[in-house]
């Protein structure tokens, strides 16, 4: 593709739409409506894992577009929010869906948290939607309409809602049991791609970062998800959870068999 002249967005000289579609096992024509973008989003969610393996190995996480394409499309790897959502942004650019980035404040962990998460706001059929494939085990599974604030929305076996905060921001919540759990808050101020470099540096290098502290691998599927956290695999199927511990020397085979990851 021709390199974008919009420096607010991720740029690459190596992105090829068909190679991407092959990577995510997408078949058929891409439709520029909510059903079509949902199909694209789910195809990527079910084939590209959320993972921080390189962070755990002490590597620098690049925000260069060509590096992201090479890692996920060519090397069959995954990544965390900047890489996964960055790749999907390249898709939206290629097919002509207007969108911009927002900075989100994760609220899963206790205490004060900086705005280290990247989300996408896309305009589809004249409506604004939150798109996010990169929030680990609690990722939404289809675009979430900003106009549906306060509505309970079913995504397979998960239920999400967006509420407005006193700061006039949006708060994404997920229903766990009978209680709403906060995931992250965000405003609608557009961010440039380069604005996420400090947050990325924090996520891959700071001792307080959850990605530095723990191995996290997540792969969604139509019935639920599989998650590696520390030394256990959690499988969630239709709302039922099973947890199996493993030894360090089993990790490589588990990543290959359960997540299609070779390290």
Q: Is residue 178 part of a domain?
A: yes
Q: Is residue 72 part of a domain?
A: yes
Residue 7 binned pLDDT confidence (cut-offs 50, 70, 90): low
Q: Which tops the pLDDT comparison, 5 or 118?
A: 118
Length of the chain: 263
Q: Is residue 2 part of a domain?
A: no
Average pLDDT, the chain: 93
> Is residue 52 classed as helix, strand or coil in its secondary structure?
coil
* Exposure of 5 in the CB half-sphere (CA atoms within 13 A): 0
Residue 3 binned pLDDT confidence (cut-offs 50, 70, 90): very low
Q: Total domain count for the chain?
A: 1
Whole domain around residue 217: which residue ranges?
17-259
Q: Is residue 142 part of a domain?
A: yes
Q: Is residue 223 part of a domain?
A: yes
Domain containing 120 — which CATH number?
3.30.2140.20
Question: Which residue matches tokens 């998960």?
Answer: 158
10-14, 48-52, 137-141, 230-234: which is most confident: 48-52
- Gyration radius of the chain over CA positions: 17
88 near 73, Cβ under 8 Å? no
Termini Cα distance of the chain: 29
C-alpha dihedral (10, 13, 18, 20), degrees to nearest 10: -50
What pLDDT was estimated at residue 108? 86
What pLDDT was estimated at residue 6? 55
pLDDT (tens digit, 9 = 90+) per residue, 189-242?
Answer: 999 999 999 999 999 999 999 999 999 999 999 999 999 988 899 999 988 899
What pLDDT was estimated at residue 230? 84
Q: Is residue 89 part of a domain?
A: yes
Q: Is residue 157 part of a domain?
A: yes
What pTM was estimated for this model as a whole? 0.94
Weakest mean pLDDT among 6-10, 127-131, 196-200: 6-10
pLDDT (tens digit, 9 = 90+) per residue, 78-126?
Answer: 999 999 999 999 999 999 999 999 999 999 877 778 999 999 999 999 9
CA distance 178 to 126: 34
Q: Is residue 7 part of a domain?
A: no
């Amino acid at each position: 593709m021709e390199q974008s002249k919009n420096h607010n967005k991720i740029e690459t000289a190596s992105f090829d739409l068909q190679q991407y579609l092959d990577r995510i096992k997408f078949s058929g024509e891409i439709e520029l409506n909510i059903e079509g973008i949902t199909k694209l989003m789910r195809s990527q969610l079910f084939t590209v894992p959320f993972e921080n393996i390189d962070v755990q190995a002490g590597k620098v996480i690049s925000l260069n577009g060509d590096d992201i394409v090479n890692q996920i499309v060519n090397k069959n790897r995954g990544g965390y929010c900047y890489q996964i959502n960055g790749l999907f942004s390249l898709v939206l650019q290629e097919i002509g869906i207007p969108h911009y980035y927002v900075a989100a404040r994760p609220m899963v962990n206790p205490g004060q948290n900086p705005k280290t998460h990247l989300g996408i706001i896309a305009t589809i059929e004249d409506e604004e939607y939150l798109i996010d494939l990169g929030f680990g085990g609690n990722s939404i599974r289809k675009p979430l309409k900003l106009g549906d604030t306060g509505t309970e929305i079913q995504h397979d076996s998960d239920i999400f809602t967006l509420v407005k905060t006193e700061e006039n921001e949006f708060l994404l919540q997920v229903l766990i049991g009978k209680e709403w759990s906060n995931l992250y808050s965000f405003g609608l101020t557009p961010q440039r791609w380069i604005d996420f470099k400090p947050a990325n540096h924090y996520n891959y290098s700071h001792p307080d970062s959850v990605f530095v502290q723990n191995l996290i691998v997540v792969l969604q599927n139509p019935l639920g998800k599989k998650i590696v956290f520390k030394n256990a695999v959690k499988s969630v199927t239709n709302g039922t959870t099973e947890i199996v511990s493993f030894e360090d020397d089993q990790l490589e085979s588990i990543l290959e068999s359960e997540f299609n990851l070779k390290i």
